[in-house]
């Protein structure tokens, strides 16, 4: 039985890790992003979520100048919605608001990890000195301790880019075709799951790299 014990521990650790990661991966498959489009009068609201892997090709924390520059360039690109999701000129759409940012699942880099090792047994959360520390956070930390911090990145880290847009259109009913230059800007992106909401209701579409257009005529 002694020979089995380490394997059992590994299985337990893997179980804890997958519980932590499944939650993220449910809404995060590399190559696949989500785009919501809502028509409301003259306005079109859009929201994009895309894995860091799709947008910059990595999901570890950008530490080198080159990686930071990639993130900055991506955020700037994501802040120009009509260059990514082109609409017919006849719709007369312009950008009212656009914001884009990188979101990371891992925001614990500021912890003193030596403290954590002592805390794990007695669950003395007060020692963390920060609010909102949950058992799940704790599990995540414990997982981290099994790895060298320089190489655990791809396993433990997932990042997503998030963008929100508000467009105003002179003739929104002409916004019947969306052309996804998005796939040209981001070579690692393969698919967007698109939810469109209009007076006609809500409809789900999948737009893929090989067929990067979305016909919205039925939504008007
Ligand atoms: Zn990921």
Q: What is the pLDDT at residue 11?
A: 40
- Nearest CA to 144 among 184, 178, 107? 107
CA of 54 to the centre of ligand 1 (A): 9
CA of 168 to the centre of ligand 1 (A): 33
Give pTM, 2 decimals: 0.68
The boundaries of the domain holding residue 165 are 4-219
CA of 135 to the centre of ligand 1 (A): 22
CA of 154 to the centre of ligand 1 (A): 8
CA of 131 to the centre of ligand 1 (A): 26
Of 216 and 113, which is predicted with more confidence?
Answer: 216
CA of 27 to the centre of ligand 1 (A): 10
11-18 mean pLDDT: 41
Q: How far apart are CA 72 and CA 191, in angstroms?
A: 23
Q: What is the pLDDT at residue 104?
A: 79
CA of 212 to the centre of ligand 1 (A): 23
Q: How far apart are CA 82 and CA 87, in angstroms?
A: 7
CA of 158 to the centre of ligand 1 (A): 4
Q: N- to C-terminal Cα distance for the chain?
A: 67
Q: What is the pLDDT at residue 106?
A: 55
Domain count, the chain: 1
pLDDT tens track for 146-193? 444 444 444 457 999 999 999 999 999 999 999 999 999 999 999 999
pLDDT tens track for 101-136? 999 765 444 443 444 444 444 444 444 444 444 444
**In this prediction, what percent of the chain has a pLDDT beyond 90?**
61
Q: What is the pLDDT at residue 129?
A: 42
CA of 155 to the centre of ligand 1 (A): 9
Q: How confident is the model at residue 25 (pLDDT cuts 50, 70, 90)?
A: very low
Q: What is the pLDDT at residue 81?
A: 98
């Amino acid at each position: 039985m002694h020979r089995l014990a380490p394997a059992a521990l590994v299985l337990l650790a893997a179980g804890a890790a997958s519980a932590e990661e499944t939650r993220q991966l449910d809404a995060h498959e590399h190559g696949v992003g989500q785009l919501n489009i809502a028509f409301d009068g003259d306005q079109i609201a859009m929201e994009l979520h895309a894995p860091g892997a799709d947008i910059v090709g990595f999901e570890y924390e950008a530490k080198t100048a080159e990686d930071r520059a990639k993130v900055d360039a991506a955020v700037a690109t994501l802040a120009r919605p009509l260059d990514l999701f082109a609409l017919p000129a006849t719709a007369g759409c312009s950008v009212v608001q656009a914001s884009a940012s990188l979101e990371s699942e891992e925001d614990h880099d500021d912890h003193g990890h030596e403290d954590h090792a002592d805390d794990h047994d007695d669950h003395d959360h007060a020692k963390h000195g920060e609010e909102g520390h949950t058992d799940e956070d704790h599990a995540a930390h414990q997982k981290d301790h099994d790895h060298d911090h320089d190489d655990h990145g791809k396993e433990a880290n997932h990042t997503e880019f998030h963008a929100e847009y508000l467009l105003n259109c002179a003739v929104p009913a002409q916004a019947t075709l969306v052309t996804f230059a998005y796939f040209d800007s981001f070579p690692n992106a393969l698919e967007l799951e698109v939810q469109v909401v209009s007076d006609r209701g809500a409809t789900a579409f999948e737009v893929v790299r090989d067929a990067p257009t979305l016909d919205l005529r039925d939504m008007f």
